[in-house]
Chains A and B, each alone.
Chain A
Amino acid sequence: MSLCLKSFTLICHSIKNPQLTCVRNRYHAEKIAKGPLLRRYGYKDKILQSGTLPHVDGPPISMPVYRPKNAWCEKRALFGQNDYIDILGNGELHPTRILYNVQSWLRGVQGNEYQILLRKRKVFNKGIVPIARPSKWKDLNKRIKYLYRFLNRKTKTGMSSD
């Protein structure tokens, strides 16, 4: 309807002003050549929604370079040395007294979490830890109290807490 009106007004215009010619500045072919109108700018359509996703955006992450461990470094070459010192030595020294890489209060200790925490409290009670690390000390005591109640009231005797 509006198209009819437009053409009618153009015809009327040309009749009134016969020297005017209509000039097109836009051509349909150019519009088609430009392509479809870009809608939803910046939107990334996620085609792959789940599973292992490929690294298509950003730099590719390659496998790390293989660095074989040195099987004959000093630590590994002499691993286990002195473990039989009570058999092959004079019998006074026990292998637990040679575990220099283990914290001194943990040498020769075996037990579940509750037993180890009790030992930790017994050992560190005498030092600076309760004064220098009050929050940690409080957490230790809280954990011991909780484990006492849990193991003695909620579990059968002989169950480990690990």
Chain B
Amino acid sequence: MIFWVHLLNVTGSSSSLSTTAIMPRVLAYPPKYKRVQQAWVENLDTVEEQKLGLIDLHPDVFGAQPRIDIIHENIEWQTKYRQVRYDHTKTRAEVRGGGRKPWPQKGTGRARHGSIRSPLWRGGGLSHGPRSPKTYFYMLPFYTRVHGLISCLSVKLAQDDLHIVNSLEIPTDDPKYIEDLVDSRTWGPSVLLVDEMDIMPRNITAATDSILHYNLMPVYGLNVYSMLKHDTLVLTLAAVNRIEEKLLYQLNRPDICNVVKKYELNQNG
């Protein structure tokens, strides 16, 4: 197994186009039969776009066959698996009252009844109504979720909705700066900015705080639903490295029997 060492030399905001600013990436698990994907590394320091360099992206992560059905399965899973319905109706045993026979079986000309809370009666219990917490939980197979992420990233790159940025440092914390930046680069109405760590630079957090459709996310929070909800996906170089590292590890790990097991409750995942 080849572990690659990443060297990033980030220059200041005043640098013009210089291809030596971004070191070329060495891909882990070098692709044998697929063509390497490539993407520009841009900057966020100025409103105008400056291309800092061209980097390679692993085709198994960013150039995979876009499986729309797997993406759909992932979206459905994300929407449903956390859903719990709490609507509840009482049965005839639970409705207050109704223990006594309302009138004798025979003699009165009325229909025969055993309790005033049977489902036939007004105010009676419901025999087949919704019952207590109903969960819709299920887990997708592990590799369906992995391939969901891979397909979505490939789709984003193929449709020009993926942009790689050297870092999320911006000069001001003015929301208008980010708006102008996104408008000038036609980055789409909604932007998802992904960095490696969950602690982001102060300026970008202050600027995007008031704009609800520009959202920040760490790498571990990335998911298919958010990638499709936001039109543009902006990854930092560190985030790209982390995503590739994780997904390639999942695709090539030797102990898949540990992860493809059926989900068991109370086994700490």
- Which residues of A line the B interface, CB within 8 A? 70, 72-74, 77-89, 91-97, 99, 101-103, 106, 108-111, 113, 116-117, 120, 139, 142-143, 146, 162
Given A103-B133, A117-B132, are A82 and B220 neighbors across the interface (CB < 8 Å)? yes
Can you list 24 A-B contacts (CB < 8 A)?
A72-B190, A77-B212, A80-B223, A81-B221, A84-B220, A87-B142, A87-B145, A87-B250, A88-B219, A88-B220, A88-B247, A94-B268, A97-B269, A101-B82, A102-B135, A108-B137, A109-B135, A109-B265, A110-B135, A113-B131, A113-B134, A117-B132, A139-B94, A143-B93
Q: Are B215 and A78 in contact (CB-based, < 8 A)?
A: yes
Q: Nearest chain A CB to B38's CB is how many angstroms away?
A: 23
Given A87-B246, A87-B250, A106-B133, are A99 and B82 neighbors across the interface (CB < 8 Å)? yes
Nearest CB to that of B143 among chain A residues? A87
What are the residues of chain B within 8 A of A83 when measuring CB–CB?
A: 78, 223, 225
Inter-chain contact total with CB atoms closer than 8 Å = 109
Q: Nearest chain A CB to B35's CB is how many angstroms away?
A: 25
Q: Is B146 part of the contact surface with A, judged by Cβ < 8 Å?
A: yes
Residue in B78, B82, B149, B222 with the greatest tally of chain A CB atoms within 10 Å: B82
Q: Are A81 and B217 in contact (CB-based, < 8 A)?
A: yes
Q: Contact size class for B? A: 35 or more
> Considering the chains assembled together, what is the distance between the CA atoms of A116 and B134 in angstroms?
8
Majority SS at the chain A contact face: loop
Q: Is B103 part of the contact surface with A, judged by Cβ < 8 Å?
A: no
Q: Are B269 and A84 in contact (CB-based, < 8 A)?
A: no
Q: Which of B78, B84, B93 contacts A146 (CB 8 A)?
A: B93
Q: Are A80 and B149 in contact (CB-based, < 8 A)?
A: no
Nearest CB to that of A105 among chain B residues? B133
Q: Are A79 and B229 in contact (CB-based, < 8 A)?
A: yes
Q: Which of B81, B84, B247, B265 contacts A87 (CB 8 A)?
A: B247
Q: Are B134 and A77 in contact (CB-based, < 8 A)?
A: no
Q: Are B134 and A72 in contact (CB-based, < 8 A)?
A: no
What are the residues of chain B within 8 A of A143 when measuring CB–CB?
A: 91, 93-94
Q: Are B146 and A102 in contact (CB-based, < 8 A)?
A: no
Q: Nearest chain A CB to B59's CB is how many angstroms away?
A: 19
> Considering the chains assembled together, what is the distance between the CA atoms of A40 and B45 in angstroms?
86
- Bitwise, B251-263 to A at CB < 8 A (1) or not (0) is 0000000010001
Q: Is B138 part of the contact surface with A, judged by Cβ < 8 Å?
A: yes
Q: Is B27 part of the contact surface with A, judged by Cβ < 8 Å?
A: no
